[in-house]
Amino acid sequence: QIKESATLTRDVLEQHFSDLKGTLKKLLDERLMSLLQEVDVIEQESIKPLDECQKLIEHGVSTADDLLREGESAVDGDVGTQNEKLCNFTKKALHIQLDSLPEVPSLVDVPCLSAQLDDCLLTILKNQIFRHGTVASRPPVQLEEFVEKPGGILVRWCKVDDDFIPQDYRLQYRKSTASHFEDVYVGSETEFIVLHIDPNVDYQFRVCARGDGRQEWSPWSVPQIGRTTLVPHEWTTGLEGYSLSSRRNIALRNDSQSCGVLYSKAPTYFCGQTLTFRQTVGQPDRRDSLGVCVEQRNGYDSLQRDKAVCISTNGAVFVNGKEMTNQLPAVTSGSTVTFDMEVVQLGPCSNEGGNFKLRVTISSNNREVVFDWVLDQCCGSLYFGCSFSYPGWKVLVF
């Protein structure tokens, strides 16, 4: 592990700094080209009027030179032609303004290009480069525990560096046959239930963290293998009043007038586990129910019946069809309702029954009720179910 991680770290560092060199050279080349273009533009715009001024002056000098030669020729000519040449010379000289010159800008008004290059850039870059990157011998967080869930895995992690102050965690996973990890959770919690896990298949997990006030993520934890042997919870298909998701773990109460209890496909809830419902709310009704039962029974419109425990959407708790004195808060959108059960008494059969007792804990909106559920038969596994009178209710079970 040490040699493998050291080799991987060297490769990552070399690739990262190689990329930085290429990017830095590209940025410097782009900045140089931009500055050179500025020099070209200033040079062209500033020299154009001076070129035009120079052309006018050269033209005036050339004209004066031609006139001077013409005057010398008139003076040196024959007496017969001298008067005519002098007359022509005089006329031409009167039409040419030899004393007129274009305005020449003063020397201080003429641009003088220079480059201002601040050496502090090297100091800034030097300080940033010397602080860039770190090498850690151990990641600040590590995976701690995997708990099997029906069709999922509860992943827990913990901080192992006392000096590290985490702001966020990032959990990734991949199937054993996949080549790339994918994000499954980013947040401040130290545990997360990963759903849509195929039973009896290995999944690899890793976690990292982001320090308080920092943007970059820490090194990844040592990858670990997790799996679940529990089949996922599924709702029964075919009930007219409910539409199901493709994985059949989400049920939506549709507009159908049909009433009835939607049960699980199989008795997949076992004592010692936590059964969780998360819902989007619709219009409540006192006959609504979320809960577990010993057996499927058709012909009922609620789990408020014998051999079942449930919570109504208004928070009332029912045990074998009887409402308890204790009541939980009303079910709200996005909240979770959980059921936990453990066997507290398992005795021989008797004429009076009541030989099987389960300790039930129902939690909702940070409150819970605990009671004993007495049954006349041993139950290794239980069905779960729901019933809603009005459309709009949506329930995810896990």
DSSP assignments along 322-362, one per residue: EEEEEEPPPP-TT-EEEEEEEEEEE----TT---EEEEEEE
Beta bridge partners of 30: none
Q: What is the pLDDT of residue 380?
A: 79
Q: What is the pLDDT of residue 24?
A: 93
Q: What is the pLDDT of residue 295?
A: 92
Cβ neighbours around 36 below 10 Å, total:
11
Q: What is the pLDDT of residue 348?
A: 55
Domains of the chain, earliest start first? 1-131 (no CATH), 141-228 (2.60.40.10), 242-397 (2.60.120.920)
Phi, psi of 344 (to 5 degrees): -115, -15
Q: What is the pLDDT of residue 364?
A: 94
Q: What pairing do the DSSP bridges indicate for beta strands 166-175 and 182-187? A: antiparallel
Q: What is the pLDDT of residue 351?
A: 45
Round to whole Å and give the CA distance between 176 and 142: 20
Is-contact 242 252, C-beta < 8 A?
A: yes
pLDDT tens over the chain, length 398 residues = 788 888 988 998 999 999 999 999 999 999 999 999 999 998 888 888 788 878 888 887 888 787 788 777 777 766 666 677 777 777 777 777 666 666 666 777 778 888 888 888 888 888 888 888 777 778 899 999 999 999 999 999 999 988 889 999 999 999 988 889 999 999 999 999 998 899 999 999 999 999 888 888 988 998 999 999 998 999 999 899 999 999 999 999 999 888 899 999 999 999 888 999 999 999 999 999 999 999 999 889 999 999 999 999 999 999 999 999 999 999 999 899 999 999 987 655 444 555 789 999 999 999 999 999 998 888 879 999 999 999 999 999 99
Look at the pTM and tell me if it is higher than 0.85. no
Which of 246, 244, 247, 292 has the alpha carbon at shortest distance from 267? 292
Does residue 6 sit in helix, strand or coil? helix
* Complete edge-to-edge strand list for the sheet that includes strand 274-280: 242-244, 250-253, 394-397, 274-280, 336-346, 356-364, 367-375
Q: What is the pLDDT of residue 102?
A: 64
Q: What is the pLDDT of residue 97?
A: 66
Is-contact 151 231, C-beta < 8 A?
A: yes
Is-contact 167 248, C-beta < 8 A?
A: no
